[in-house]
Structure 1
Amino acid sequence: MIPEKIATKPNLTKRILAGLIDYTLLIGVTIVMFIYFGEKVQNNYELHDFPALANALIWFGYLIGFEVKFGGTLGNLVFDLQVVSIKDNNSTSLTLGQSFIRHLFDFFDLWFFGLLAILLIKNTKYNQRLGDLCAQTIVIDTKDDQQFYKRFI
């Protein structure tokens, strides 16, 4: 096992604001999709076929694609937050699987205005939400020299 050193902070304000940016963008795109491509069924609008698939691909591409390519979503990048892998490998870069797992748990993390995520971030050793715990990732502020993840070979 390679020795490692991890130092994180909750960064709650930045993480909440980053999440607001990300989900405002995604919900906005979804609303536009419903307006232009939705079918009215009784008193509701529904997306079917390609528009539904396109909407899912947009969510996937934005949340997961941005994290894998840039280390965070637009919201994270605006606030200098980076998602880092602490999995047992030689890289701190996030894998597609790790990002997918992180966002698979978004529903639970965002439940009741993010209460579960906030409680976990404040009470876990490395300030991780449920998605981070399951994916073996941490979120660090890249502008704060006191937050880091280093492996010593």
Structure 2
Amino acid sequence: MANTTIITGQYVQINQTPASVGERIIARLIDMVIIILYLFATISFFNKVPTLVLYQVSYLLFIILPAVCYSLLFEVFNHGQSIGKMIMNIRVVMADGSSPTFGAYLLRWLLYLIDFTITGGLGLIFILMTKKSQRIGDLAAGTMVIKLNDYRKINVSLDEYSHLEANYHPVFPQAGDLSLEQINVIEKALSVDGKERYNYISQLSGKIKELLGINTQLSDEKFLETLVKDYQYYAYVDI
């Protein structure tokens, strides 16, 4: 299976190998077994206890919703991995290598119904035909599922670069919401020379602060430099 190659603003080559169809199917089957076991256990519990106040509400909150939202909840709160994906060592990421936003997770989860349930497996055909092995939900959300082993090898190589010091602690968590293209714009701004450098950096810094809702006492240049480092941390190290 072909690798996905990304060149970051620091000219660090990132190779991501898409998870195979077999790995994704096995991960999904594991998740389905876990959901079935959960439903069996919770339904058995509710059937054995006396009638509860607001029984139907409790049934919905503790049985139906967790089962239906299983994949979404795990991917959002467990770095793109359900239990099945953890066992198969695969993970959901953005196609540019960064961490998905909640909106991206939500969109690919909503479109699962079209990928497999309604269309009878159209998503499987898309996985087989697309270069990055993306189903319809992945294409719409800009995500892909990668092999985590290869992703971890990348982190080892990143330690050799001075742009991200060992034990680096990010300052702005909002940096994780930026795209690779936006980071490249910041990199270009920081590399500008001449009389317009100050104005260019100042204007870009102001727009980014407004976009991300950031208020900081750092100078505009230092703010942009810190943002780039934070992006690298969230995109490639915080797994």
Instruction: Identify whether the pair has TM-score above 0.5, normalized to the shorter chain.
Output: yes
Counterpart of 1:125 in structure 2 is 131
Q: Is structure 2 residue 145 aligned with structure 1 residue 104?
A: no
Out of 34, 41, 50, the position equivalent to 1:25 is 34
1:10-21 equivalences under 5 Å are: 11-21=20-30
Is the partner of 1:107 in helix, strand or coil? helix
Residue 33 of structure 1, CA deviation:
3.3
Indicate yes or no: 2:66 matched with 1:58: yes
* Count of aligned pairs: 138
Aligned to 1:93: 99
Q: Give the alignment partner of residue 147 of structure 2, picking from 138, 141, 145.
A: 141
Query: One-letter code of the match for 1:33?
Result: T
Tell whether 2:86 aligns with 1:77: yes
Deviations 1:85-116 (A, max 9, x none): 237xxx71122221121111222223389621
The answer to which of 61-70 and 108-117 deviates more is 108-117
**Contact 2:19-2:90 at 8 Å conserved across structures:** no
Structure 2 residues without counterparts, runs of 5 or longer = 1-5, 9-13, 48-54, 155-179, 185-239
Aligned pair in 2 of structure 1 residues 34, 23: CA closer, same or farther (>3 Å)? same
Q: Report deviation, 1:81.
A: 0.4
Q: Distance in 1 between matches of 2:94 and 2:120?
A: 22
User: Matched residues, percent identical?
Assistant: 30
Please report the RMSD computed on the Cα atoms of aligned residues, expressed in angstroms.
Answer: 3.3
Contact map agreement 2:17 2:150 (CA 8 A) in 1: no
Q: Do the aligned partners of 1:26 and 1:59 also contact (CA within 8 Å) in 2?
A: yes
Scaled by the length of structure 2, the TM-score of the pair is: 0.48
Which has more strand, going by share of residues? 1
Q: Which has the larger share of helix?
A: 2
- Bigger relative contact order (CA 8 A; separation at least 6): 1
Report Cα offsets for 1:55-77 as digits up to 9, x if no partner. 24423663223212332111111
Alpha-carbon distance in 1 for matches of 2:110, 2:56: 22
Larger Rg: 2
**For 1:130 and 1:61, how far apart are their aligned partners in 2?**
19
Counterpart position of 1:42: none
Provide the C-alpha distance between the structure 1 equivalents of 2:90 and 2:21, rounded to a whole number of angstroms. 11
Aligned to 1:37: 46
Report the secondary structure of 1:143's partner residue: helix
Secondary structure in 2 matching 1:92: coil
Matching residue of 1:44: none
Aligned CA distance change for structure 1 residues 104 and 67 (closer, same or farther; 3 Å): same
